[in-house]
Amino acid sequence: MNKKVGIAFLLCIVATLFAQAQVDTNKALSVGRNALHFKDYLLSIRYFSSAISASPEKAEPYFFRALAKHSLGDYIGAEIDCDSCLIRNRFMYNAYFLRGISRHALGKDSLAALDYEKVLYNNPDHQGALHNLALIHLSNKEYDALDKNIARLERFYPQYLPTYFIHSGSMLERQDTTTAISLLEKVKSLDALSSEPYRLLSSIYYSKNKIPEALKELNGGLALNNKDKRLYTLRGIINYKIHNIREALEDYTQAISIDSDDRTARFNRAQLRMRVGDMNAAIEDYDVVLAIEPKDQIPRFNRGLLRKELGIYKGAVSDFDAILKSYPTFLPALMARAETHKSTGNESGYKKDIREITRLQQLAATNRAALPSSPAQDEDATRSEQDQNIEKFRMLIHNSSSTDFTSLYNENNRGELQDREVSLDAEPLLRLSFYEFLQTDAIPIRIRDKAVERALSNLNPDITPQIVLYTPSLSQSMIAEHLQRIDSLQKQSTLTARDALVLAIDLETTKDFDSANTIYNTRYNDTKDPLWLLLRSTGNYLSYRSEQTSDQTTKQENKTKDFLGKSSYNKLDAALKAGQLSPHLQQAFNDSKQLLTLWQESLVAMYNHGTLLYHVGQYQEAVKVLTQVCRKDPTFAAAFFNLALAQYASGDILSGSQNMSLAGSKGISRAYAILKRMQ
């Protein structure tokens, strides 16, 4: 999504805003602002949170933390922090602007407009507020209000080019192409080096079927900027329209050389290669398009047709199967699959498809409801990038959406955590270990649990284990020490409870989870001590995680790119219905449930049970338990993260995003990648 808002406005003014604060707050703010300047947003959030803890009555730390969160794409968190800032100081117009652009990004245009108007009340020449308010008026087709905004922008900033782009766009919407063209010509006079007005003028002329004028503008734009892939892509469409296929292919190839993942250029080149008979090359382009957008069935169908022609029958059937899953009444795919079955001697598959084709052709009602008449398939017909009508599979894409009048800033910030592909696994259970790994991005906390500490003191082990989330990788020499101690303890005929504890945790440390679980099981059955129940639960959880780690399919599927489809949830639901949960996971869950009845106030017991409720698909119950954990310890980032996952899974996207934002602000960096996909 293109950024509509101006972080640069805020970054350039934050250094001059605030001078009076307590010493500790001043120091935290100073370090946080330096981190913000160098785009280390997670570190800056940590320091601003420290400043808030030191001086919760001050507005400034909330403002700066909101700015950092916005830079990470956490618009919900930024809006909440701006609210907190303005409660403490309602005269900070920069906080209104930041809240406005956060709301704008969340689609809350009416609320964003109110914030922009508050900025303009005391700052009538605020460029960012004028610009973004104009965008909202344009989106809502409020042309009178838009014209007033445009007039103010032109009065205060006569050299500001986006004003004329927005104005031109509004004139096009009002069917006044003459004024739109004159405004873009004015941009040319204001900035002789910009290729953007040439591209937009070319689009206007192309829409009016004025091909020579469109080509003239494109060539003028390319003379100024031969690295703009959009100019080549548009010229490719125009060359295709006038049947200059060779030139069109060259234009798309040039666009792809600039951006190898340009979906429009790839698809259009594949379509033209298909038409000229370069089938293998066309398949290569369709492969790239499908890697970029796997759910786009149009290139999949065309690839299937090419595979059928080349005798790649297995791949062709696979493509047709996928298409018919989405479009079960799409006759061309049924016919193509039937022909493929016939070519491979699959008589039963051929007859089955023919029967279905006959049935659909005989049902006039079905034909009217599910098989709309095909659009005109003339030689130069095109479709927009957003038009996914499968019937238009022969058409090239005319990327009209690239005519964008809305960009104010388009920063590619260094270190944007939200663009990374991250794991969707829940944060792990709390368990006992001799080692603790402190993640570099997490705010370190020490989990204190009276029930666990009391149980450990009763055993009085020589080496006291800690309550941890993660453990580090150990060196070979350290592992050797544990193996030596395991060997020594296993040679003893009888073990005290504290020796059994050390032995079992040593076995866990060396990944021998089954042997550790055997000790936990025996000790709990003999003593009924809840500590052994906790250890048996976490030990079985580790066995379950070990199983998952070895499952490469699960590891590949459980990534952020599949999150919105909730494939992992669907897979879990199917397992629950079939009673196929891992025995280790089931045992861990049963033990955690029993432990919570014994240690009702234990943070460890509550968190572990809430997390395991999420793992077994009881999302609503997980939300209830993890909410209690977050109230009990507001610093516990993992609890907020797992709570957010449970809320997402139960369909509460807003609450999930709010808690995912809190998890991110408490140091879990992957929260921002998930937030970006869920907001």
pLDDT digits (tens, 9 = 90+) for 498-539: 899 999 999 999 999 999 999 999 999 999 999 999 999 999
Alpha helices in 363-446 (DSSP H): 364-370
> What letter represents residue 457's amino acid?
S
Q: Give bridge partners of residue 396 from the DSSP assignment.
A: 382
In a domain, 422, yes or no: no
- Tell me if 207 is assigned to some domain: no
Interval 431-448 mean pLDDT: 71
- Whichever domain contains 177, its CATH number is 1.25.40
The answer to whether position 590 is within a domain reads yes
Residue type, 486: I
More confident residue, 679 or 451: 451
Q: Does residue 240 fall inside a structural domain?
A: no
Residue 655 forms part of a structural domain: no
Whether residue 484 is contained in a domain is answered as: yes
Question: Distance (Å, rounded) from C-alpha 242 to C-alpha 379?
Answer: 10
Q: What are phi and psi of 396, to 5 degrees?
A: -80, 165
Residue-wise pLDDT for 247-301, tens only, equals 999 999 999 999 999 999 999 999 999 999 999 999 999 999 999 988 888 999 9
Is residue 327 within 8 Å of residue 297, measured between CB atoms? yes
Lookup: tokens for 371: 């098989």
Kindly tell me if the per-residue pLDDT of 391 is higher than 90.
Answer: no
Q: How confident is the model at residue 460 (pLDDT cuts 50, 70, 90)?
A: confident
N-terminal to C-terminal alpha carbon distance within the chain: 12
Domain boundary residue, one of 587, 602, 617: 617
Give me the sign of the Cα torsion angle 123, 126, 130, 136.
Answer: negative
pLDDT in tens, 335-359: 999 999 999 999 999 999 999 988 8
Looking at 89-193, list the stretches that DSSP marks H as alpha helix, in order from N- to C-terminal side. Answer: 93-105, 109-122, 127-139, 143-156, 161-173, 177-190
**Residue 76 in domain:** no
**Distance in angstroms (rounded) separating the CA atoms of residues 401 and 382:** 13
Q: Which of these ranges, 78-92, 257-271, 398-412, 454-468, has the smallest mean pLDDT?
A: 398-412
Task: Find the length of the chain.
Answer: 679
Handedness of CA 381, 386, 390, 396 (dihedral sign): positive
| Domain finish residue from 191, 221, 239 | 191
What is the rounded average pLDDT of the residues 606-629? Answer: 96
Structure confidence at residue 393 as a pLDDT band (50, 70, 90):
low
Helix axes 161-173, 196-207, angle to 10 degrees: 10
The number of distinct structural domains making up the chain is 2
pLDDT of residue 395: 74
Q: What is the pLDDT confidence band of residue 471, given thresholds at 50, 70 and 90?
A: confident
pTM of the model: 0.75
Of 19-23, 52-56, 172-176, 468-472, which gets the smallest average pLDDT? 19-23
The domain in which residue 611 lies consists of: 431-550+565-617
Classify residue 163: in a domain, yes or no.
yes
CA distances from 494 to 400, 499, 533, 648 (A): 78, 9, 21, 49
Tens digit of pLDDT for each residue in 185-217?
Answer: 999 999 999 999 999 999 999 999 999 999 999
Average pLDDT over residues 32-42: 89
- The DSSP bridge pattern shows strands 396-397 and 382-383 to be parallel
397 three-class SS: strand
Contact 147, 174 (CB under 8 A): no
Check if the beta carbon of residue 134 is closer than 8 Å to that of residue 153.
Answer: yes
Question: How many C-beta atoms lie closer than 10 Å to residue 187's C-beta?
Answer: 21
Q: What six digits make up the tokens of 212?
A: 């020579």
Mean pLDDT, the chain, as a whole number?
85
Q: Give the integer Cα–Cα distance in Å for 147 and 142.
A: 9
Chain position carrying tokens 């009673």: 579
Write down which residue in 191, 212, 247 finishes a domain. Answer: 191
